[in-house]
Amino acid sequence: MNFPKGFLWGGATAANQLEGGYQEGGKGLSIADALPGGPDRFKIVQQPDFDWTLDDQRYTYPNHVGIDHYHRFKEDIALFAEIGFKCYRFSIAWSRIFPQGDELEPNEAGLKFYDDVIAECLKYKIEPVITISHYEMPLNLAKKYGGWQNKALIKFYERFARVVLTRYHDQVKYWMTFNEINSALHFPVMGQGLVPSNGANEMQNIYQAWHNQFVAGALAVKIGHELDSQLQIGCMILYATTYSYDANPINQLATLKQNQRFNYFCGDVQVRGQYPVYTKSILKEAGVDWQQLDITQEELKLLKTNPVDYIGFSYYMSSTVEVTTADIEQASGNLIGGVKNPFLKASDWGWQIDPIGLRIALNELYDRYQKPLFIVENGLGAVDQIDDQHQVNDDYRIDYLREHIQAMAGAIDDGVDLMGYTPWGCIDLVSASTGQMSKRYGFIYVDLDDAGHGTLDRYRKKSFGWYQTVIKSNGEQL
Ligand code: BG6
């Protein structure tokens, strides 16, 4: 294998999915705190009457407790250090720093928590990699302002980003502005705070929200670089390598369009600093009026002068496009839809597993942008069995990760500049799409079930020792 010296091996989490302590240290409610647990969570938030009101009689709210990392972060980071992490990707809960989102002054107790998390990482020489906003905004911003479609959020995010960048820039070199920004095309609730009752069904709102996020992200890049020109501030996109089902040019064209709409649009703006040439065409197809979007010349200049330094992306699955017939099996479960690919197996949740697709993704992205890439999420959500001895033999997870790491090595051979790899949910945590605990990704098992029962004790899975060897050998021993 050929992983460069200093390759950033690590793991990734997000505040709302593991911290818990949802009302401690002055934290305000976030949109994630209002998402019901269970596989129907997306269906529930898509009901026309869903208005973010918490209803303890009908629903459970697993993000309230997460895996109690808020109280156990020292134990968890010690386990990450034992695996040998070179870096740890986590996010800062916006609602800990600005509980309502629109205050002028930050919540010092919230900042103190991240002071401690960062200090703990640095104690073990683990490089922190911070996502400024990961599927979590103060609930007040969604309820009172309607989420990211409202331009007022730009200044709230700017204030938040300025506070955390100023406080941590001398300790944290790697940052990302928004998690999976492009995911809003399929589920605008988590990234943009949009549900049908505040406009999620209107593509016009989604594109306006994106523009506002592009501007806010560019401001974060500007602030960061003014503090320290060496800071590395990336975007973060959900990338699903997309194939045409066959050689039919109709499907090939549909694949190209799907790539533009989903895989490339946000990255093109954030990396190249300008809207791509195909913008008006995809907007027209989506029924969005470009003239009605609130976009100023000043904002376009800001985007142009503040592109990101690297491309962070998540990769779990590929997608296959077939538009000429309705008589074909869909890939049930695939986050971004598409038809079933006969060459691929799927995870327990129907996500189509495709390691070669990762090599293709790395080549496509590097070829397109010529900037360093960082795989900040990848992994297998699976049901794990723990035995009486607290052993979890997750060979299926090891196989999945091994094949993806081999694909990364292949891409490095192809000439791709890859900075690092942080598999998702390095410790079991609450699933974003289903709110389940039983959908586990970790090297570390957490004793907690979907109903919220369990000791919350942590146990090392078989993959824990395996990943330890991978990191120690810098990817030589898989
Ligand atoms: C990504 C998100 O979509 O995938 C994470 O950035 C999420 O927040 C991860 O947890 C896995 O998805 P899920 O739905 O299995 O938790």
d(CA 105, CA 95): 13
| pLDDT at position 18 | 98
Tell me if residue 180 is catalytic: yes
Residue 286's CB: how many other CB atoms inside 10 A? 13
d(CA 281, CA 404): 35
Residue 208's pLDDT band, with cuts at 50, 70 and 90, is very high
Buried b (16+ CB within 10 A) or exposed e, 95-118: bbbbbebbeeebbeebbebbeebb
Torsion of CA 110, 112, 114, 119, to 10 degrees: -170
| pLDDT at position 332 | 77
Q: Can you read off the two tokens belonging to residue 213?
A: 């996020």
pTM (2 d.p.): 0.98
8-472 folds as TIM Barrel (3.20.20)
Please state, in angstroms and as integers, the Cα–Cα distance from residue 254 to each residue in 209, 259, 261, 324, following that order: 25, 9, 10, 10
Q: Is 14 in the pocket of ligand 1 (CB under 6 A)?
A: yes
CA 379 / ligand 1 centre spacing (Å): 10
CA 368 / ligand 1 centre spacing (Å): 25
Task: Give the chain's length.
Answer: 478
Domain ranges of the chain: 8-472
Tell me if residue 476 is catalytic: no
Please state, in angstroms and as integers, the Cα–Cα distance from residue 130 to each residue in 88, 235, 260, 300, 326, following that order: 8, 11, 27, 26, 43
Q: Is 428 in the pocket of ligand 1 (CB under 6 A)?
A: no
d(CA 290, CA 303): 17
Q: Which of 180, 299, 322, 364 is catalytic?
A: 180
pLDDT digits (tens, 9 = 90+) for 69-97: 999 999 999 999 999 999 999 999 999 99
- Cα angle value 99/100/106 (rounded, 5°): 50
Q: Is 288 in the pocket of ligand 1 (CB under 6 A)?
A: no
Residue the block writes with tokens 């002071």 = 115
Mean pLDDT of the chain: 97
d(CA 324, CA 244): 11
What is the three-class DSSP state of 163? helix
Residue 274's CB: how many other CB atoms inside 10 A? 13
pLDDT digits (tens, 9 = 90+) for 381-430: 999 999 999 999 999 999 999 999 999 999 999 999 999 999 999 999 99
| Contacts with 330 (C-beta within 8 Å, 6 or more apart), sequence order | 337, 338, 339, 340
d(CA 95, CA 97): 5
CA 22 / ligand 1 centre spacing (Å): 19
- Gyration radius of the chain over CA positions: 21
| pLDDT at position 326 | 85
- Cα angle value 450/91/83 (rounded, 5°): 75
Q: Is 205 in the pocket of ligand 1 (CB under 6 A)?
A: no
